[in-house]
Structure 1
């Protein structure tokens, strides 16, 4: 498939991942120690894609400044979706810079190169589009697809009618006719969606194929899913679950510290005496784990400081977080409130968004979510959802 262009849809915020997306879009959140979008680019290039068009919007500067004009010697072309009006609207923003058959892929979900290659291999000359499909037990939070003899017969978002569906993996091989179909489809709640354009093609008798793949697909819908995403990358071998990451030589691990694999340690980290890190831990760039601290089953983003004797279990942090000396994130399971929904028995000790400043001796009730720039004073017990810029007193 050499010579194909891929349109990567990376303009959205990821509302359900707030407060982590307060300062960056969902595609730039970490899967292990690298942005989700970087994994997407890797898999596209491994599948043979020779040009990538990136549709950016919300916090687009975070994407463009991180990647620049090329990635792994593959040119990146950026187009802007000024208002986030749906995946179809994003696709149309890229129409003028692609020619002929192209790929489209979600930039906020990780699919391995097998899924991309299977989609290309299954696309036939009489098809207007081909969708990658997966078999999953529960697709109620995603798009469902019904298929008859290889042809897609319906695409349903968040299906709940009891029919047998495949999961829409968010990988599409598209002919130019799809752009016209997206334009022609009626908007839903003011948004144009790619799947509505595909449904229009199905309704008028055009051939839309579905190809079932057994490749790896992982997605973070809610903040605690970042733990599962990283753990699955370990288990599937997509990342090397040892301390010997590409840049570990630039990190300092004290001889008395215990590293329990799998872990990934990015560059310029410091792990001090008596600390225990792992298993299933991802330490971003310039993280410090203080003396006798314990970090297990956690994703700790860049520039975070974990203080002396602190405990972080099933913890997700943003960038620049301080977990003070003696503070405890005890791990789940827990009930987590997101908006007006309560999710039961989720494995989340706490989520600390960008630049949370914990001054030590703090206890987090499982399921706690703390917004950006909050200050938690020494000796506090924190529970529930704490808004950004809040001061929590003991």
Structure 2
């Protein structure tokens, strides 16, 4: 009997998300109660996929740690990241019949996968999932007619707003096309060129989807992904909740965590294992707190992600922010998330100032950075990994490079 397989493309660096991806690959970033790629694997399993191949390169050891106990997952090494086309070529020996293929860093409603899979099984053709976005020029714009692909136009203006969503059902013919592609102007082997070859004879079906889909391309996208996945969780309390602590709504509290008296948690929220919350802390909706975190007395966390071993131990405010592993906020340090003039917050991608198009956005603080007491961090600030910020500093909305010391 034919085993249904899937290939996840997860070898990229995720440069635009730095410092969040400085030491963690983008597919392993948290969104709700598990990593982005963990949700994709769950979707695949629930839809009958027997084996999952993950093409990896950057931080490969992190993938090995995560999937060490998953017998249905095989890691496929890509020697040098040379684009999505080359990544899929690496999986040729893994797939010998029809298979699913997905980008490993997208967050979407499970129904999208079901539709692409059903379309492929029904027609026996290659299928490409498509979604509408407001900024199609940043993606591969899909030209289609009568449900069939005409051409994917890479980052084209004026070609419509349906884009390639990175969810595919392929036949083995894709591997023959991949052998014919050339290096693109970006210096990569592009999967889209091979798909265009298949589409020359109208051999690729387009499955348009109107539900939730998100390419996690910038740090604030991770907050949107997190909020979406948290909206799906069901209440589960396995840690200890002391008397006079309040837990409202769909909240997950993992084993080994202690929620101390006076703490107030409003779901949806996820609290990992071995955490200490309170006494008298406030966790607001759409917050994800990783394992071994400490949110202490009079600290408030709202619509944010605290990664493993992050600490907001006394009198802290963290709003609409991403706090990476090992970060410590000194007593009284606050992260502002709203400009006093109410305008969109501007932040930084690869050191370049950009408009987040968000009225509320706090800060990004990279791994192992230490912030002194009573610091004020303005909206849009990006502090890279391994920085040290002394007591009482006011940080303007700037980009601070790795290892910055301000005393």
Whether 2:191 is the aligned partner of 1:194: answer yes
Contact map agreement 2:372 2:391 (CA 8 A) in 1: yes
Task: State yes or no: 1:76 paired with 2:87.
Answer: no
1:44 aligns with 2:44: yes
Residues 321, 33 of structure 1: alpha-carbon distance in 2 compared, 3 angstrom cutoff: farther
Corresponding residue SS for 2:136:
coil
The aligned residue for residue 405 of structure 2 is: 391
- Cα deviation for residue 215 of structure 1 reads 4.2
Structure 1 residue 164 corresponds to structure 2 residue 160: yes
Closer, same or farther in 2 for the Cα pair 1:278/1:350, shift >3 Å? Answer: same
1:325 aligns with 2:321: no
Q: Is the 8 A contact 1:306 1:322 kept in 2?
A: yes
Distance across 2 between alignment mates of 1:104 and 1:345 = 31
Shift of 1:242: 4.5
Q: Kindly state the Cα deviation for residue 126 of structure 1 after the two structures are TM-superposed.
A: 6.7
CA contact (8 A) 2:233 2:268 kept: no
Query: Which of 160, 175, 191 pairs up with 2:171?
Result: 175
Matched position secondary structure for 2:219: coil
Aligned equivalents of 1:278 and 1:318: distance in 2? Answer: 19
Once residues 340 and 264 of structure 1 are traced to their aligned partners in structure 2, the CA distance between those partners, rounded to angstroms, is: 32
Partner SS state of residue 192, structure 2: helix
Q: Which moved more, 1:85-94 or 1:135-144?
A: 135-144
Distance change (3 Å), C-alpha of 1:355 and 1:379: same
Residue of structure 2 in register with 1:146 after alignment: 143
Q: How many pairs does the alignment contain?
A: 386
Residue 94 of structure 1 corresponds to which residue in structure 2? 91
**3-state SS of paired residue (2:157):** coil
* Structure 2 counterpart SS, 1:154: strand
Match of 1:379 in 2: 392
* Structure 1 residue 271 corresponds to structure 2 residue 277: yes
Change in Cα spacing, 1:38 to 1:239, as seen in structure 2 (3 Å) is farther
Please report how far the alpha carbon of residue 67 of structure 1 lies from its aligned counterpart in structure 2 after TM superposition: 1.3
Pair 1:291 & 2:303 matched = no
Structure 1 residues 183 and 239, CA gap change in structure 2 (3 angstroms): farther
> Structure 1 stretches of 5 or more lacking a match?
none
Give ranges in structure 2 of 5+ residues lacking alignment: 236-247, 339-343
Whether contact under 8 Å (2:230, 2:270) holds in the other structure is no
Match of 1:340 in 2: 352
Q: Is the 8 A contact 2:251 2:267 kept in 1?
A: no
Provide Cα deviations, 1:276-307, integer angstroms capped at 9, x if missing partner: 11122111111110101111111111111102
Instruction: State whether residues 271 and 290 of structure 2, in contact with CA within 8 Å, keep that contact through their aligned partners in structure 1.
Output: yes
Q: Say whether the 8 Å CA contact 1:127–1:208 is kept in structure 2.
A: no
Distance in 2 of aligned mates of 1:215 and 1:345: 21
- The Cα shift of 1:243 comes to 6.0
C-alpha offsets along residues 293-324 of structure 1, whole Å, 9 cap, x if unaligned? 11111111111110211111111111111011
Judge which range, 330-339 or 186-195, deviates more: 330-339
SS state at 2:361 partner: coil
Q: Is 2:232 the partner of 1:219? A: no
Cα distance in 1 for partners of 2:142, 2:94 equals 29
2:326 is the alignment partner of 1:316: no
Equivalent residue, structure 1, for 2:224: 228
The CA distance in 2 between the partners of 1:285 and 1:365, in whole Å, is 27
Q: Which residue of 2 aligns with 1:105?
A: 102
> For 1:153 and 1:127, how far apart are their aligned partners in 2?
18
Contact 1:140–1:159 (Cα < 8 Å) also in 2? yes
1:67 corresponds in structure 2 to 67
